[in-house]
Chain A
Amino acid sequence: MIYILLSTIIVPVLIGTFRFSLLPKYARMMMYYFYLCLITEIVSFAFAKMYGNNMVVHHFYIAIAAIILSQAYEELLDSVFPRILLIVPVIVAVEVALYGTSTFNSLSSTIFNSCMILTCLYAFYRMMIGSLSLPLVLINGVFMFYSLSSGFFFFTAKALQENDIDQMMVLFGIHAYINAITNIAYGICLWMLIKSFSSQRS
């Protein structure tokens, strides 16, 4: 599972790194998010091998991803609405203080996904009344699909947590495949974004 995630997150990272200078500022912020995903996957892989419990990495990931994505969407939409994502690091701190880092980050993930869905809907609204470009709509759609899917996943995981561990592993497997598909989709959207910018310049 983790090998699939590691091999797919490489796709947007490689595409964005080679054309980093061509990207606009919001896409650079999104690139920082992909770097964060790569670091999270590597460290979570290492922690799973060394200690067995890698939940602390996911708490770290949620807090930093919320900050980076709020900045990226603020830059993209030129609005203060995405700042609602900045509530997530506070929730992470409260969750870690109350339950520790050995449990799932269900609460912070649910709030992060809800805020991301709201931000994506707002971005879609702004794109509908303003200018529409296909790569941005697609990348926003991929973010929204991932947030919705992840929200449903954490909701189901919370309901199943007390019943069965094997069923949880099925959930993890499907979530990892969705993550892999969205990673490849990020790569394709970034490629389209870079193509559109390079064709505008030439």
Chain B
Amino acid sequence: MDVDKIVLISAVLIPFLATVSIMLIVYVGHRKLTHTKEQFREKEKLDQQLIQSMGRVIQNQDRSLEQYREIFNED
């Protein structure tokens, strides 16, 4: 094999392909990681909303109980 071909393959093509493949892996990995992070944040937000709405329901129930007590006390 000629030296030109050896050098062209070993010193140009292999580094280029290696670098491009690593950059692709980094891009895809970063996208996947951030995607899962975003999903986790969305789930957390939904959980918080659920907790808030549950709290509101409990407050409303408490309030209605107090109203009942007031009515019964008045009677």
Whether B12 pairs with A129 at a CB distance below 8 angstroms is: no
Provide the bound-state CA to CA distance between A174 and B26, in Å: 29
A residues near B (Cβ < 8 Å) are 121, 124, 127-129, 132, 137, 141, 144-145, 148-149, 152-153, 155-156, 160, 164, 167, 170-171, 174-175, 178
Within 8 A of A (CB), among B16-66: 16, 18-20, 22-23, 25-27, 29-30, 33
Q: How many residues of B contact A (CB 8 A)?
A: 22
Q: Which of B15, B16, B27 has the most CB of A within 10 A?
A: B15
Instruction: Give complex CA distance A152, B19 in Å.
Output: 14
**Distance A174 CA – B15 CA, assembled complex (angstroms):** 14
B11 and A175 contact, CB distance less than 8 A? yes
Contacts of A148 in B (CB 8 A): 14-15, 18-19
Is the beta-carbon distance between A121 and B7 smaller than 8 angstroms? Answer: no
The reply to whether the CB of B67 lies closer than 8 angstroms to some CB of chain A is no
Q: B4 and A153: CB pair below 8 A?
A: no
Main secondary structure of the interface of A (DSSP, over half): helix
B11 near A127: Cβ-Cβ < 8 Å? no
Please give, as numbers and ranges, the residues of chain A lying within 8 Å of B3 by CB-CB distance: 160, 164, 167, 170-171
How far apart are A20's CB and chain B's nearest CB, in angstroms?
27
Interface residues of B (CB under 8 A from A): 3-4, 6-8, 10-12, 14-16, 18-20, 22-23, 25-27, 29-30, 33
B26 touches A132 (CB 8 A): yes
Q: How far is the CB of A140 from chain B (nearest CB, A)?
A: 8
Given A148-B18, A149-B11, A160-B3; 5 other pairs, CB 8 A cutoff? A121-B22, A124-B22, A145-B16, A152-B15, A174-B4
Once A144-B19, A178-B11 are accepted as A-B contacts, the answer to whether A156 and B33 lie under 8 Å apart by CB is: no
- Contact call A128/B11, Cβ cutoff below 8 A: no
Q: Hey, which chain B residues are within 8 Å of A170, CB to CB? A: 3-4, 7
Please give, as numbers and ranges, the residues of chain B lying within 8 Å of A137 by CB-CB distance: 23, 26-27
Q: With contacts A141-B19, A152-B14 known, is A124 near B26, CB below 8 A?
A: yes
